[in-house]
Amino acid sequence: MISMSVLMIEAFYGGSHKQLLDLFQEEIKGCSVFTLPAKKWHWRARTAALYFMQTIPPSENYRVLFTSSVLNLAELVALRPDLAKLKKVLYFHENQLVYPVRKSQERDFQFGYNQVISCLVADVIVFNSAFNMESFLTSIGSFMKLIPDHRPRELEKLIRPKCQVLYFPIIFPDITRFLPAHKLERDLLMTDIQDIEDGEALDSLITLQNCKADDGLMRNSFACLNPVPTAKQDTRNQEGLSNISDSLEDLNSVRRTEGASAYHGEDMGHVAINPCSMLGGSGNLEENFSVASQHMPLHIVWPHRWEHDKDPELFFNTLLKLKENGLTFKVSVLGETFMDVPDIFAEARRELASSVVHWGYQSSKDDYLKVLCMADIVISTAKHEFFGVAMLEAVHCGCYPLCPKALVYPEIFPDVYLYSTPQQLFKRLQTFCKRPYLARRNAIKYSHHSSRFRVHGLLIQFNDVEEHTSAMLAHRYYHQD
């Protein structure tokens, strides 16, 4: 833990916003934190600056201001000139320029506009994925055309140099105590990467990310995309896209750092999932699984917010189609509910009653993880996803992911876990319902390596921009003892 004069502001203290801020508070001693509850998002975005103007006391000790893009940063520093001199770091969990709406007239111009002008006054702008960053930057021009006249021009050129991608740091507890026997068996039966016989799966793995061991330290799970170009990286990698030049030896060296003793009584502390070590199963593992696990019905989990942008209609219609075809499965529907719950949830609850294992939000984190650990497949049908914490939490718990081949997902998962059409999703689930062991044996191999994103390293370097440009602020790591 370090000591630093950091002012942290979160206008919507809930979900991933809360998770990130809590992690900062663990790492930074003496930071000053000011938040508003995660309610009435639109009001928070519009009025939070005025609230924080009155509640944040003046201090000569502040050096860094960190906030998410919910806050109108331009308004705050105009209302509080003493905060304008701080090094201002703006973090994007999402962006309002491409956030899906059911009707175009429902898009409120002011919220995207707030984010654009916040970027103009920020010193460093951090996005949780390349998809989030590129979709925002490339939409600024068309978004500003909504202004009837006297439109600003070339704002992207002003904003882009300050932008970078740093994947959201998810820190997991040890979940081995929640894993069912067949998942523990699977991990013990997993072979090293050298034994994978499926050339296509191996090629997909190799092209996933640039995941080399760095000075003996495993790269952070969500920092595989390096926005800082090196001699080995092309222009696509500079924009946060995957680099396909990694050799098998590079990947093997990463695997060798992971250690094989995670299941043998070691105290693992916090565990970070590692998308860079996603492995498909190999061999005829269904013969090795316990007989009981081979015949258990497929357990599907959907752990998302109960809102239209997660497309629950597609998810439930797919399950109802499976049921109409006489296929057997179990389903758990998790996630938070808000004021406007789509009607499809009540309808699906009635139609799928005999298949439902869990239904609704799990208030206890342990209870939530237990459900994920018991599930076989995690589904996303999202129309919008800028990172996807819920999917990665499920993968950490041993679930096989099925995600749209769009949004952020191609950054995180190999093609084998992606679908392009609703029919493809149905066919994949149809196969898994008939042969559940295929999902169980080929679930992503999560990593128990305990390296993690050094969040305070980012802020240390924000303090001295004259010596450290924004391009040098990414990817600081350390080992936990």
Task: Give the pLDDT score at 328.
Answer: 96
Domain of residue 26: give its range. 2-165+452-478
User: pTM above 0.75?
Assistant: no
Q: Are residues 43 and 112 in the same domain?
A: yes
Q: Are residues 346 and 269 in the same domain?
A: yes
Residue 381 included in any domain: yes
Q: Are residues 277 and 420 in the same domain?
A: yes
Residue 341 included in any domain: yes
Q: Are residues 355 and 218 in the same domain?
A: yes
11-to-8, 14, 66, 230, 390 alpha-carbon distances in Å: 10, 9, 11, 37, 22
Residue 211 included in any domain: yes
Q: Are residues 391 and 463 in the same domain?
A: no
CATH code (residue 27): 3.40.50.2000
Residue 170 included in any domain: no
User: How many angstroms separate the CA atoms of 394 and 362, rounded?
Assistant: 14
Number of domains in the chain: 2
Q: Are residues 130 and 229 in the same domain?
A: no
Q: Are residues 146 and 235 in the same domain?
A: no
Residue 171 included in any domain: no
Q: Are residues 357 and 326 in the same domain?
A: yes
Residue 152 included in any domain: yes
Q: Are residues 241 and 356 in the same domain?
A: yes
pLDDT in tens, the chain (481 residues): 555 589 999 999 988 899 899 988 887 877 899 999 998 889 999 999 999 999 999 999 999 999 999 999 999 999 999 999 999 999 999 999 987 665 555 568 999 999 999 999 999 999 999 999 999 999 999 999 999 999 999 999 999 999 999 888 877 778 889 988 878 776 655 533 334 434 443 343 333 333 322 322 222 332 322 223 333 333 333 333 233 223 223 323 323 333 322 222 223 223 333 333 333 333 444 445 555 566 789 999 999 989 998 999 999 999 999 999 999 999 999 998 877 899 999 999 999 999 999 999 998 999 999 999 999 999 999 998 999 889 999 999 999 999 999 999 999 899 999 999 999 999 999 999 999 989 988 877 544 332 333 444 454 444 443 333 233 333 332 222 2
Q: Are residues 377 and 466 in the same domain?
A: no
